[in-house]
């Protein structure tokens, strides 16, 4: 395949975040009234792509990146003073604008997932902050960190963008931060969102859920979806924990009954009793079961397929890994609340931008697109971010040759030479049995 054909990286960036849109959002949020030395589009791109000028997203590093990209000299105080509440509003508006326009899927779901409108994965990750922010963002584990925030995300496992992101204090309950459409969608939950009320809400609104079962959960087994031959241990009527250690079968597929309190209304909370499906897959190395709770119908989705589908939840884990390992969001050393929030939003824009550019490169490679893996691409994105910053802030007529050189270098490195196995989503669609990928 010839690699001289342009993929238009600069056009992709400026289409994703047009300068006129950035200027409009800057005015609407009060970040700028009139552009002088600080240009709203260049400032945004500096926060998004200038992090590779150092190991962290520091103000000093970003100021140097802005000066390099725009050939504008700013004294430190002039640059630092722009990190105020208006910048946070500006960055949040940019994120919301991007999420609205980039949450569509790459392709339709296939195989056993074809009947779902979307498969969504939700999770959260903690970002440690400077101790002086303890009063604003108190941490949960104060012996580890005094201050921390939590970043919540809901994303399409088969798309190239997130559905929603939300920043809260670390002590915010994960389930209460979950927001998404439910009908005909399958939501893969982390244990942080484990609430029977939430599961029941998904079911009652026409959706499907899948979660790991909490280790201490002890529901009553009320029906079995599979009959075992021989002297198998009877399960119906038993508590799960009473029989789990004695089971030897490869899988468990039963109906369970759980009790919980519904959300309060007018000061009252009613009790509820509901049935869900419990699936267990035995790990032959440890002898322990991986247990899942779901409302996926047993006559459509096998027990082994349930475990395969849940593994696709790691797509949202990769989001947080990229943000922290590749896009410099592991720690926020600043004691300024506005600096912290602006840089967290900037990292989210970096991730969305990275996904969009990866999509462009994957489209360029056609049949070999799956070899442009998430992990390899984010490492390339970090390596080339500073050059992409110069590219997007340089007028097209002056940067054509520069753009060709960057694109040639990126295309030369993009394909993973060792990729042989299926992706997590491909395994889930194919229903590959647990542990056999």
**DSSP helix/strand/coil, 273:** strand
The answer to whether residue 312 is domain-embedded is no
Distance CA 10, CA 273 (A): 56
The answer to whether residue 93 is domain-embedded is yes
Q: Give the C-alpha distances (Å, rounded to integers) separating 246 from 213, 226, 241, 289, 348.
A: 18, 18, 10, 11, 47
Distance CA 326, CA 322 (A): 5
Which DSSP helix (H) or strand (E) runs through 208? strand 208-212
Q: 240, 264, 294 — which closes off a domain? A: 294
Question: What contacts 301, CB < 8 A, 6 or more positions away?
Answer: 112, 309
Claim to verify: residue 289 and residue 347 sit in the same structural domain: no
Phi-psi map region of 302: left, alpha, beta (phi>0 left; psi -120 to 50 alpha): beta
Confidence of residue 3 (pLDDT cuts 50, 70, 90): very low
Claim to verify: residue 408 and residue 343 sit in the same structural domain: yes
Range of the domain at 381: 9-102+334-414
The answer to whether residue 437 is domain-embedded is no
Claim to verify: residue 212 and residue 286 sit in the same structural domain: yes
Claim to verify: residue 271 and residue 339 sit in the same structural domain: no
User: Is pLDDT above 90 for 336?
Assistant: yes
The answer to whether residue 51 is domain-embedded is yes
Question: What contacts 138, CB < 8 A, 6 or more positions away?
Answer: 146, 147, 169, 170, 171
171-219: per-residue pLDDT in tens? Answer: 776 666 565 568 888 999 988 889 999 999 899 999 999 999 999 999 9
Q: 235, 266, 294 — which closes off a domain? A: 294
4 burial level (CB within 10 Å; 0-12, 13-18, 19+): exposed
Computed over every residue of the chain, the mean pLDDT equals: 84
The answer to whether residue 35 is domain-embedded is yes
Q: 294, 323, 348 — which closes off a domain? A: 294
The answer to whether residue 49 is domain-embedded is yes
Domain count, the chain: 2
Give the mean model confidence (pLDDT) for residues 274-284: 93
343-370: per-residue pLDDT in tens? Answer: 999 989 998 898 889 888 988 888 888 8
The answer to whether residue 258 is domain-embedded is yes
55-64: per-residue pLDDT in tens? Answer: 567 888 899 9
Claim to verify: residue 25 and residue 87 sit in the same structural domain: yes
Claim to verify: residue 98 and residue 18 sit in the same structural domain: yes
pLDDT computed for residue 324 by the predictor: 79
Claim to verify: residue 14 and residue 71 sit in the same structural domain: yes
113-125: per-residue pLDDT in tens? Answer: 777 888 888 888 8
Claim to verify: residue 46 and residue 96 sit in the same structural domain: yes
The answer to whether residue 220 is domain-embedded is yes
């Amino acid at each position: 395949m010839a690699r001289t054909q342009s993929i238009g990286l600069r056009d992709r960036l400026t289409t994703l975040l047009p300068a006129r849109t950035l200027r409009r959002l800057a005015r609407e949020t009060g970040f700028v009234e009139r552009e002088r030395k600080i240009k709203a589009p260049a400032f945004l791109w500096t926060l998004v792509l200038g992090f590779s000028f150092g190991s962290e997203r520091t103000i000093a590093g970003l100021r140097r990146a802005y000066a390099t990209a725009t050939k504008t000299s700013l004294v430190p105080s002039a640059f630092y003073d722009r990190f105020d509440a208006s910048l946070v509003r500006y960055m949040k508006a940019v994120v919301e604008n991007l999420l609205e326009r980039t949450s569509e899927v790459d392709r339709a779901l296939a195989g056993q997932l074809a009947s779902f409108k979307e498969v969504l994965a939700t999770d959260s990750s903690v970002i440690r902050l400077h101790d002086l922010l303890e009063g604003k963002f108190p941490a949960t584990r104060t012996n580890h960190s005094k201050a921390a925030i939590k970043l919540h995300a809901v994303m399409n496992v088969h798309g190239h963008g997130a559905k929603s992101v939300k920043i809260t204090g670390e002590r915010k309950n994960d389930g209460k931060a979950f927001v998404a459409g439910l009908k005909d969608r399958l939501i893969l939950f982390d244990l942080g969102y484990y609430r029977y009320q939430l599961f029941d809400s998904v079911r009652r609104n026409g959706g499907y859920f899948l979660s790991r079962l909490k280790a201490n959960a002890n529901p009553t087994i009320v029906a079995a979806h599979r009959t075992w031959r021989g002297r198998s241990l009877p399960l119906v009527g038993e508590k799960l924990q009473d029989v789990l250690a004695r089971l030897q079968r490869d899988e468990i597929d039963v109906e369970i009954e759980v009790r919980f309190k519904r959300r309060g209304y007018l000061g009252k909370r009613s009790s509820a009793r509901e049935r869900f499906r419990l699936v267990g897959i035995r790990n032959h190395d440890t002898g322990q079961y991986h247990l899942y709770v779901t409302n996926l119908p047993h006559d459509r989705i096998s027990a082994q397929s349930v475990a395969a589908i849940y593994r696709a939840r790691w797509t949202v884990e990769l989001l947080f890994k990229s943000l922290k390992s590749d896009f410099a969001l592991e720690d926020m050393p600043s004691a300024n609340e506005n600096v912290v929030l602006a840089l967290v939003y900037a990292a989210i824009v970096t991730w969305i931008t990275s996904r969009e550019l990866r999509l462009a490169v994957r489209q360029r490679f056609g049949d070999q697109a799956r070899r442009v893996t998430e992990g390899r691409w984010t490492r390339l994105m970090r390596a080339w971010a500073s050059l992409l910053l110069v590219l997007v802030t340089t007028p097209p007529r002056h940067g054509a040759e520069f753009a060709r050189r960057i694109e040639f270098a990126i295309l030369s490195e993009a394909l993973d030479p060792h990729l042989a196995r299926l992706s997590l989503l491909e395994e889930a669609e194919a229903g590959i049995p647990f542990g056999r990928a």
